[in-house]
């Protein structure tokens, strides 16, 4: 296994192990700490947040078949563990049955659960036991009673329906999908960026949610209607442009600007760039080796702090180390597992150029070392 791939895999499993170990024993509620703002009352949401976000980031690796024998054995072990966890999370008789219907937040993390299934249909759907499949469907449909906010939350409702379509459910709702796709077409502000609602916000939600979900939704259901497939082509073009922007935001030292909300999601801020790697849709000006080097530098810089985890290996609120003051009222321990989204490229084979190309300087590193680099070109 290459050194970088080994480091990425070890980093992902370091984040995953305490959570999966607890949930497969139906001990998640007992063992998982809930760090949060005083009186924010996130206990009923945090467990689904943690699990759904974690397996979303792990999904492409779980779905793949590793070329390295030892890694493949490990992958199969984790597939089995995650399936057990899905059963416990969705079984109403489980001690760790999760909240899919009370309050607004379950729309968000059921959507991340749905996206995980879209990213790993064999590992996380088709090979589940029939009773677990029924429980998963009930869990997804339970969110229909909740009203999404007029923001990126429209995509949460839409991707849940997209997953139900993928599962073969006859009563999937095209209206929720159509509304979200049309609304985001209106919210496009130019140069690869969408506003998150009526106003543009300078944050990482184009990466956390918007671009990856627009692509997964429109790619999966696009063939059903020509208007959706037409949008898919535009979404892809804009996604490439935003990948240009994301790569340039990584400094020569592996840092990135602490702008906007939800900074406690750490390197989950690069969900979109990681997803573009997985989809083989990087901008032509970026090589696989430079993007791997850039993302690796971000992971290493973040883990350079010894305060990312508590003494039992659970993530703590912070941008780098432990900085609880940056966590908004909606942030708790479970929220932090969105950081796992950076690990999507582990779904690529070890022989893929992303892992095999020599590491190269990324754009800002070239720029600040007096090397030639491409001048930024806006998307008309």
Phi, psi of 307 (to 5 degrees): -115, 20
pLDDT of residue 380: 77
pLDDT of residue 195: 98
pLDDT of residue 292: 98
DSSP 3-state assignment of 315? strand
- Is the residue at 379 inside a domain? no
Q: Which of 185, 298, 271 is nearest to 232 (CA)?
A: 185
pLDDT of residue 78: 98
Q: What residues contact residue 63 under an 8 Å CB cut-off, 6+ apart? A: 119, 120, 121, 122, 123, 124, 347
- Is the residue at 20 inside a domain? yes
- Per residue of the chain (380 residues), what is the pLDDT tens digit? 899 999 999 999 999 999 999 999 999 999 999 999 988 999 999 999 999 999 999 999 999 999 999 999 999 999 999 999 999 999 999 999 999 999 999 999 999 999 999 999 999 999 999 999 999 999 999 999 989 999 999 999 999 999 999 999 999 999 999 999 999 999 999 999 999 999 999 999 999 999 999 999 999 999 999 999 999 999 999 999 999 999 999 999 999 999 999 999 999 999 999 999 999 999 999 999 999 999 999 999 999 999 999 999 999 999 999 999 999 999 999 999 999 999 999 999 999 999 999 999 999 999 999 999 999 999 97
Task: Return the CATH number at 41.
Answer: 1.50.10
Distance, CA of 189 to CA of 81 (rounded, Å): 42
CA of 147: how far to CAs of 106, 150, 349, in Å? 11, 9, 40
- Is the residue at 361 inside a domain? yes
Distance, CA of 60 to CA of 64 (rounded, Å): 6
Cβ count near 376 (within 10 Å): 11
Map 49-73 to HEC letters.
HHHHHHHHHHHHHHHCCCCCHHHHH
Distance, CA of 178 to CA of 212 (rounded, Å): 17
Is 152 in contact with 106 (CB distance < 8 Å)? no
pLDDT of residue 65: 96
Give the domain range for residue 17.
Answer: 3-367
pLDDT of residue 9: 98
- Is the residue at 110 inside a domain? yes
- Is the residue at 374 inside a domain? no
Q: How many domains does the chain have?
A: 1
Distance, CA of 89 to CA of 84 (rounded, Å): 9
- Is the residue at 372 inside a domain? no
For the chain, give me the number of helices (H) and strands (E)?
Answer: 16, 2
pLDDT of residue 1: 85
pLDDT of residue 39: 87
CA angle, residues 250, 300, 362, in degrees to nearest 5: 30
- Is the residue at 377 inside a domain? no
Is 207 in contact with 239 (CB distance < 8 Å)? no
Q: What is the distance between the terminal CA atoms of the chain, rounded to a whole angstrom?
A: 42
pLDDT of residue 342: 98
- Is the residue at 56 inside a domain? yes
């Amino acid at each position: 296994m290459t050194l970088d791939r080994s480091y990425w895999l070890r980093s992902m499993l370091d984040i995953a192990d305490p959570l999966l170990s607890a949930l497969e024993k139906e001990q998640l509620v007992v063992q998982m700490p809930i760090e949060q703002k005083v009186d924010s009352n996130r206990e009923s949401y945090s467990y689904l947040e943690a699990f759904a976000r974690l397996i979303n980031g792990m999904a492409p690796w779980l779905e793949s078949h590793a070329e390295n024998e030892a890694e493949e054995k490990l992958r199969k072990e984790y597939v089995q563990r995650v399936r057990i966890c899905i059963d416990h999370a969705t079984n109403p008789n489980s001690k760790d049955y999760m909240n899919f219907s009370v309050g607004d937040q379950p729309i968000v993390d059921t959507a991340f659960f749905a996206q995980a299934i879209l990213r790993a249909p064999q590992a996380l759907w088709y090979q589940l036991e029939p009773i677990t499949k029924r429980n998963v469907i009930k869990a997804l449909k339970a969110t229909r009673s909740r009203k999404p906010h007029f923001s990126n939350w429209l995509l949460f409702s839409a991707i849940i329906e997209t997953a139900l379509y993928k599962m073969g459910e006859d009563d999937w709702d095209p209206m929720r999908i159509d509304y979200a796709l049309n609304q985001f077409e209106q919210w496009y502000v130019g140069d690869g960026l969408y506003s998150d609602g009526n106003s543009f916000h300078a944050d990482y939600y184009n990466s956390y949610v918007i671009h990856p979900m627009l692509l997964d939704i429109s790619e999966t259901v696009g063939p059903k209607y020509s208007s959706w497939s037409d949008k898919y082509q535009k979404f892809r073009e804009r996604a490439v442009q935003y990948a240009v922007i994301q790569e340039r935001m990584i400094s020569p030292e592996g840092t990135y600007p602490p702008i906007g909300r939800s900074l406690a999601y750490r390197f989950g801020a690069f969900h979109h760039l990681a997803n573009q790697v997985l989809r083989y849709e990087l901008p032509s000006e970026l090589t696989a080796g430079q993007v791997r080097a850039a993302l690796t530098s971000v992971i290493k810089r973040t883990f350079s702090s010894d305060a990312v985890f508590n003494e039992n290996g659970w993530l703590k609120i912070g941008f780098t180390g432990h900085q609880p003051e940056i966590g908004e009222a909606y942030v708790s321990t479970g929220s932090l597992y969105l950081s796992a989204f950076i690990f999507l490229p582990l779904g690529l084979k070890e022989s893929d150029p992303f892992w095999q190309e020599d590491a190269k300087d990324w754009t800002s590193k070239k720029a600040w070392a007096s090397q030639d680099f491409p001048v930024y070109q806006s998307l008309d």
